[in-house]
Structure formats: C-alpha cells, structure tokens
Amino acid sequence: MAAKKLRRAQLSQEMCERLSRYQITTCQDFLCLSLLELMKVTGQSYYEVQKLLCKVSRACAPKMQTAYEMKQRKSVNPSSAFLSTTLHSLDRVLRGGVPCGSLTEITSPPGCGKTQFCIMVSVLATLPVSMGGLDGAVIYIDTESAFSAERLVEIAANRFPAYFDSDEKLFCMTSSIHLYRELTCCSVLKRIMSLEEEIISKKVKLIVIDSVASVVRKEFDTKLQGNLAERSNFLTRGASVLKYLAEEFSIPVILTNQITTSLSSGPMIQADLVSPADDLSLSE
Amino acid sequence: MQREVGTLPLAPALRARLAAAGFQTAQELLDTGPCGLSKEIGISREEALEALQVVRQECQGDAARTAGESGATRRCTALELLEEEQTQGFIITFCSALDNILGGGVQLTKITEICGAPGVGKTQLCMQLAVDVQIPECFGGVAGEAVFIDTEGSFLVDRVVDIAAACVQHCHLIAEAQQEQDHRKALETFSLENILSHIYYFRCCDYIELLAQVYLLPEFLSEHSKVRLVVIDGIAFPFRHDFEDLSLRTRLLNGLAQQLIIIANDHKSAVVLTNQMTTRIGQSQSTLVPALGESWGHAATVRLIFHWDNSQRLATLYKSPSQKESTIAYHITSHGFRDVQPPAATHSAEGTERNPRKRPRTEEEEH
C-alpha cells in the first residue's frame, strides 16, 4: 500500500509530474510530509492541500468492516479455522487447535520436542480435510538443520498406517513439504519476503519456521549497543510480513523459540529464571 | 482586516507574487477586486477570484473570533469546563478497581495510553472497552459506538462475542434486579448483533495505512456521529521497523498525536492507544520502558502500565492529570476484564458521587 504510485491515487497528471520533480512519487512520500511542505511542493492553498491529502489517504487506507461482518464470514466456514494437533487435551486448551490466520509460537528448553512437534504438524497439514488436515503443501524453513526426512516418514507411517499404506502416498506427502535451509538472519528475511508467490503457486497451507531464535542469537549480541535496534528491526519486519501472509491466506504459521536465562538485578542464585528469548518483539 | 498577506492560507507562489507587488494587508486585496488583482500580479481572473474568496473566508473567521463568538478557537471559563466534566460520561472497564484509580473509567476527550509486555491484557482491555462504550445510558454507559484500528492483527471476533455476551447478560441481571421501564426498553436494542455491528474495524498493515486512516478519521466520525471511542491497538508496531530516519518517526508520531487530540476533542470521544515495551540497557541492568521513546510520553494524557508480578496481573496508573499514582490487580476471565475479587456491597450507597451517569454499583451476582 505504501509503495502505491500517486498517479494511481487519482491525482491529476500535472500534479503528479510536479510532485515527481521533488522526488515524490509514492503515497508514502506524500503522506510523510507536513502540511506546509505539501503547500510548497504542490503550490496549492491550505484547503486544497487538505483535500489532496484526503484523496491520497483514501487510496491507501484500509477498508472498513464491522465486527458483525467478520463474525458472519467466520461462521460461514467454521471447520477451516483451526488445524487440529490430534492431541486432545492440547486441542481443548487451544479451543480447537493451532489457529489459522495468526502466528503461534512454541517455546521450550532444548530437547523437549519442538522440532518433533513441527514435523508432526507438517504431516497433519498434508492430510485431507476429512481426516482433520488442511490438504495442502507445507513450507518448512529450517535454520538449525534439525529436520530429518526419515523421521518424517517414520512419523507418518506409524501414526496413520491406514492412510499411508502405500509408498505412493508417502511419496506424495513428502513431495508436498518444501524444505528451505537458511542459516543467516538476512537469508531468513529474504525467504520470508518471497513466500507470497510460493504460497499461491504451491497451494501452501502451513508455514513452519524452526527456529527464529537460533539465527538471531547467533548474529546479535544484545550487550552491544547498536545490535538491539537492528535485532528488533529484523524481528518486527519478519513478524509483520508473516502476519500479513497468515491473515491474507488464512493459514497457520508456527514459529519456534528457545529459552534463555533472564538475570535479574539480584544475586546470581536466581539464574534459573527462564523466559523466551525474543519475547518482547516477536510475540506481538 | 489588518491581517498581513503573508499569513493567509494561499498558495506559496501566489503569496510571493503578492509580496513582490507590494500588497501588505488583506484589506488592500479586498479593495482591489479580482480584475485589478489579476492585472497587477499577472494571474487569471478566476484565480484572483478564488484567492479573494479564501481571503474573505479567513477575515470572516477572524472577525467572529474577535467578536467573542465561539469560532475556531474554543474559549470558555473554567466553571463551564467543570460543569462539562461533571456531566461527562466515562467508559467503564468492568474492573471497578481500575475504574476507581482512573476516576470513574476511561475519560472522553482524552487520550489514554496502555503500555505493557506481550500477553498482559492490553488487547483484552481494548476489546472490553469497545463493548462497554455501547452500554446504554440508563445502565451508566455512554451509548456510543467504537472504531477499532488494528495494526497487529490481535483482534479476535470470537473473543469479542464472549465479552459482549457477558456484558449483555450482566445488564439483564441489573434490569431484573431493578425492574425499571427504560432498562427494559434499552435492552431491546442492546443485543449481540447490535454490539458487533457498531464496532468499526480497520486493519492497517503498515504505518502509511495508519497515517492515511487517521487523516480520514474526522470525515468518518462526522458520518458516524455516535462514535465515542477510537482504539488504536498497537501504535508502536508499525513504527518499530524500517525507520532509518528516527527524526521522521518522531515527527510523524507527533503529528499523529496532535490529530488524535483534535479528534478526541471535536467528536467528544475517548482515544485509547496501546504501546509495547522495550528494553533500555542501562549501566548495570536493563529496564522495561514504554516503546517509541521519551518524546512520545508527552502525547497521551493518561498512561497505564500493565505488568506481571509473579502470576498476578497488575495495572499501574503512571501518568494522570487528576488522579494519583496507584497500582491495582486485575483478572482476565472468560467474560473479559474483571476485578480480582467481587466488589464489596457498600459501593451502592456512594453519596459522594456527583456523576449521575455512573452506574450504581449493585451487588453483582457473580458470573
């Protein structure tokens, strides 16, 4: 929305040409200026500039919906709102399962089973809707090289022996799980940015990122002053793109996080306090 | 009429020409007339006429102001303000401890900011307020509608349905206990569908959409004049990434704050913003402070900070012009935002209450 060119915002041709002389070509450039600056660059009076602002804003602003319309839309298709994890008590607590359309974060100390959970959920997503799955492909972004294809096949064969009774079915399932190995923050971000087209072309119904914390902790040492801002920048950018993808395509996004110790200002005995690593930025 | 030409809201190029031609006051322009003006400074007659209309409009506004009428500047005595404040409604939060420390609830015409770590209940409170603003007047509410601007995507309709259902049920219980005619009439329109249809939801994905939406808000609010609450859930989120130029960010945020103050005053509505927390690395330790910097702290009139204490959620009133700093505990139940314990029965006999609109606190049948 921000990169929308002004001529698509229905400004007149001469106005667009005039503004482009000041390097103002997108709605973002236009809306970031104050009223006085706008008067100077457009050469219009105060009231005219306000009308122009309203015009450009209308081109960028989101559409209004009432909460009632949202509820109606949801109630039309209730079954697709969750991906059941097949663990009944977990599904009960989550009120149905992993929600579609939002980000879910899984956190634990090492060895508790985050990657195993991700692998299992990937299998579940490829199952047909009648069996509680989403009948779609999976994008699995692996930053720790912990994904094991053999384990994937083992889980599928043992969990659903009736469904995966032939090699062909297993082959079909494994070919719909797309694995990407990204080892730096930069490449993870680039991959996230490029997901939109892949989701449409491959009919993806689940995104798993395992794990965000490992790349962030490798590259950013929070004791150094400048790093906190860059780390927060990377995390919020990634989060906002993932949120957009989750909402736009109504698919679940699963992220895993690691545990770190939060040392309070008291004596070092309190070192067994644990809290998720990037709690402040990512889970918003 | 002695207004200088340089202060008129005309196009800058036009102003420059007028100054070069020697015009100094607005009166001179009006005396010259459109044809004379067009000949002297070399513009078309239509442009000259437009300019003169702008000048005339400005001068009329000035004259009204100097004559003491309420023009664009709001002038009134403190006594009038006091009377206005006393009759003004508050938006209750259903947590009476929180309402008490706020002085009755979330105030109209003021900006309230809620800061807190993730998961502490900011969005829950916003959803609660979006339902509570619609409570009819006979139950002590302001009977308004709500605008919900969401930048983080944490608005869940199902949760709002739960909160609204609990609120409707609560009002039914009060109506049964008090058996008044207008209660029953109000309850006919206070239903789940009505509540949901009067929450206007906008999903802004980046800061440009947020800026654009706030520019369009005054128009929207004049069309929907019953709106009494504007919630912006996540004012920090779109501004925390992709901003190499921090001075631009400060400028945009200040502009946003000013527009929100104008909206709050003109349309008599409460503006509620939620903010994130960030870590400030000090010498020996790091502390959690509200995000967006020090200068943003001046934008809100009332600041609430939500935080955890072991497993209890606490709310601290951090900044308020009329109430003192205090901390209370609150709960988030399946019905929404609530007190930790049910409020005491003595609340119903509050003689010190000057506000006739405040809902009398009867003994709540616990949900």
Whether the pLDDT of residue B94 is over 70: the answer is yes
CATH 1.10.150 domain locations along chain A? 6-60
Rounded to a whole number of angstroms, the distance from the CA of A32 to the nearest CA of chain B is 7
Q: Which CATH class is domain A77-258?
A: alpha beta
Whether the pLDDT of residue A252 is over 90: the answer is yes
Rounded to a whole number of angstroms, the distance from the CA of B114 to the nearest CA of chain A is 14
Round the average pLDDT of chain B to a whole number and report it.
82
Query: Of A192, A191, A210, A201, nearest to A246 (Cα)?
Result: A192
Q: Is there a contact between B213 and A45 if contact means CB atoms under 8 Å apart?
A: no
- Residue A76 forms contact with B (CB below 8 Å): no
pLDDT category at B222 given cuts 50, 70, 90 is very high
**What pLDDT digit, counting tens, does each position of B125-162 carry?**
999 999 999 998 888 888 899 999 999 888 888 889 99
Whether the pLDDT of residue B361 is over 70: the answer is no
**What pLDDT digit, counting tens, does each position of A63-103 carry?**
888 988 888 887 776 666 788 888 899 989 888 889 888 89
Whether the pLDDT of residue B348 is over 50: the answer is no
What pLDDT is recorded for position B214? 93
**What pLDDT digit, counting tens, does each position of B3-37 carry?**
888 788 888 888 888 888 888 888 888 887 788 88
What pLDDT is recorded for position A39? 87
Long-range contacts of A52-56 (CB under 8 A, 24+ apart): A52/A11, A52/A15, A53/B215, A54/B215, A54/B216, A54/B219, A55/A9, A55/A10, A55/A11, A56/A6, A56/A9, A56/A11, A56/A27, A56/A30, A56/A31, A56/B212
CATH 3.40.50.300 domain locations along chain A? 77-258
Residue of B nearest to A236 (CA): B241
| CB < 8 Å from B in window 133-152 of A | none
Ordered structural domains, chain B, with CATH: 5-63 (1.10.150), 88-339 (3.40.50.300)
pLDDT category at B190 given cuts 50, 70, 90 is confident
Helix count and strand count (H, E) for chain A: 14, 10
**What pLDDT digit, counting tens, does each position of A189-216 carry?**
999 989 988 898 999 999 999 888 888 8
**What pLDDT digit, counting tens, does each position of A115-174 carry?**
999 999 999 999 988 888 888 999 999 998 888 889 999 998 888 888 888 888 888 888
Rg (C-alpha) for chain B, rounded Å, is 25
Supply the CATH classification number for the domain A6-60.
1.10.150
